[in-house]
Structure 1
Amino acid sequence: MNAPTSSPHFLEVAGIHKRFTGVHALRGVSLAFRRGEIYHLLGENGCGKSTLIKIISGAQPPDEGELIVEGVRHARLTALQALAAGIETVYQDLSLLPNMSVAENVALTSELADHDGRLARTFDRRALARTAARALEAVGLPGDAAFQATLVEQLPLATRQLVAIARAIASEAKFVIMDEPTTSLTQKEVDNLIGVLGQLRAHGVTVLFVSHKLDECYAIGGEVIVLRDGQKMAQGPITQYTKAQLSELMTGRHLTSERYREGEVGSDRVLDVKGLTRAGQFADVSFSLRAGEILGVTGLLDSGRNELARALAGVAPAQSGQIVLDGKSITVRTPSDAKQHRIGYVPEDRLNEGLFLDKPIRDNVITAMISSLRDRFGQIDRARADALARQTVDDLQIATPGIDKPVQSLSGGNQQRVLIGRWLAIDPRVLILHGPTVGVDVGSKDIIYRIMQRLAQSGIGIILISDDLPELLQNCDRILLMKKGRVANEYRADQLTEADLYHALLSEAA
Structure 2
Amino acid sequence: MNQQTSSSEPLLQVVGVHKRFTGVHALRGVTLSFERGQIYHLLGENGCGKSTLIKIISGAQPPDEGELIIEGKPHARLAPLEALAAGIETVYQDLSLLPNLNVAENVALTTELAEHGGRLARTFDRRALAQTAARALQAVGLSGDADFQATLIEQLPLATRQLVAIARAIASEAKFVIMDEPTTSLTQKEVDNLIAVLANLRAQGVTVLFVSHKLDECYAIGGEVIVMRDGQKVASGPIADYTKSQLSELMTGRHLSSERYRAGTTQAEVVLAVRELTRAGQFRDVSFALHRGEILGVTGLLDSGRNELARALAGVAPADSGGIALDGQPIVLRTPADAKRHRIGYVPEDRLNEGLFLDKSIRDNVITAMISSLRDRFGQIDRKRARELAVDTVKELQIATPDIDKPVQSLSGGNQQRVLIGRWLAIDPRVLILHGPTVGVDVGSKDIIYRIMQRLSLSGIGILLISDDLPELLQNCDRILMMKKGRVASEYRAEGLKEAALYHALLSEAA
TM range (shorter): over 0.9
1:263 deviates by: 3.2
Residue aligning to 2:71: 70
Q: Provide the C-alpha distance between the structure 2 equivalents of 1:197 and 1:266, rounded to a whole number of angstroms.
A: 45
CA distance in 2, matches of 1:28, 1:207: 22
**Cα deviation per residue 1:428-479 (whole Å; 9 max; x = unaligned)?**
0000000000000000000000000000000000000000000000000000
Determine helix, strand or coil for the equivalent of 1:59.
coil
Per-residue CA shift, 1:198-252, capped at 9, x if unaligned? 1100110000000000000000000000000000000000000000000000000
Aligned residues: 505
1:497 aligns with 2:482: no
The question of 1:394 aligning with 2:395 is answered yes
Report if the CA contact (8 A) 2:176-2:206 is conserved: yes
Show the counterpart of 1:163: 164
Measured in 1, the distance between the counterparts of 2:79 and 2:22 equals 22
Partner Cα distance (1:244, 1:22) in 2? 32
SS in 2 for 1:9: coil
Partner of 1:495, secondary structure, is coil
Aligned counterpart, 2:231? 230
1:356 is aligned with what amino acid? F
What is the CA distance between 1:109 and its match in structure 2?
0.5
Aligned partner of 1:182 in structure 2 is 183
Structure 2 contact 89–169 (Cα < 8 Å) conserved: yes
**TM-fit CA distance, 1:143:** 0.8
Q: CA shift at 1:294, angstroms?
A: 0.2
Alpha-carbon distance between aligned partners in 1 of 2:92 and 2:340, rounded to the nearest angstrom: 33
Summarize the alignment of residues 71-470 of structure 1 with structure 2, pairs less than 5 Å apart.
71-470=72-471
List gaps (5 residues or longer) in structure 2.
1-6
> How many Å apart are 1:7 and its aligned residue?
6.2
- 8 A contact 1:14–1:66 mirrored in 2: yes
In structure 2, the partner of 1:60 is: 61
Matched residue, 2:52: 51
Q: For 1:466 and 1:113, how far apart are their aligned partners in 2?
A: 38
**Gapped regions of structure 1 (runs ≥ 5):** 1-5
Asked if structure 2 preserves the Cα contact closer than 8 Å seen for 1:92 and 1:179, the reply is yes
Q: Is the 8 A contact 2:268 2:293 kept in 1?
A: no
Give me the CA root mean square deviation: 0.9
- Counterpart of 1:297 in structure 2: which amino acid? V
1:12 maps to: 13
**CA–CA distance in structure 2, aligned partners of residues 45 and 84 of structure 1:** 29
Report deviation, 1:267.
2.1
Q: What stretches of structure 1 move > 2 A for 4+ residues in a row?
A: none
Distance 1:256 1:67, change over 3 A: same
Q: What residue identity is the alignment partner of 1:364?
A: N
Partner Cα separation in structure 2 for residue 318 and residue 173 of structure 1? 44
1:70-89 Cα deviation digits (max 9, x unpaired): 00000011101000000000
TM-aligned CA deviation for residue 258 of structure 1: 0.3
Distance 1:275 1:260 in 2: 32
Q: Give distance in 1, aligned partners of 2:455 and 2:211.
A: 30
Alpha-carbon distance between aligned partners in 2 of 1:7 and 1:69, rounded to the nearest angstrom: 13
Deviation of 1:144 (Å): 0.9
What does the per-residue CA deviation read over 1:32-89, in whole Å, with 9 as the maximum and x for residues that have no partner? 0000000000000000000000000000000000000000000011101000000000
SS in 2 for 1:44: coil
SS of residue matched to 1:14: strand
SS of equivalent to 2:508: helix
Shift in Å at residue 266 of structure 1? 3.6
Could you tell me how far 1:265 is from its partner in structure 2?
Answer: 3.0
Corresponding residue for 1:3? none
Deviations 1:395-417 (A, max 9, x none): 00000011000010000000000
1:268 to partner: Cα distance: 1.1
1 CA distance for matches of 2:52 and 2:132? 31
Q: What secondary structure, in the 3-state scheme, does the structure 1 residue paired with 2:148 have?
A: helix
Whether the 8 Å contact between 1:7 and 1:71 is mirrored in structure 2 is no
Secondary structure at the residue paired with 2:506?
Answer: helix
Shift of residue 509 of structure 1?
A: 7.3
Shift of 1:8: 1.1
CA contact (8 A) 1:323 1:330 kept: yes
Q: Tell me the secondary structure at the aligned position of residue 509 of structure 2.
A: helix
Give the counterpart letter for 2:419 in structure 1: V
Contact 2:292 2:460 in 1 (8 A): yes
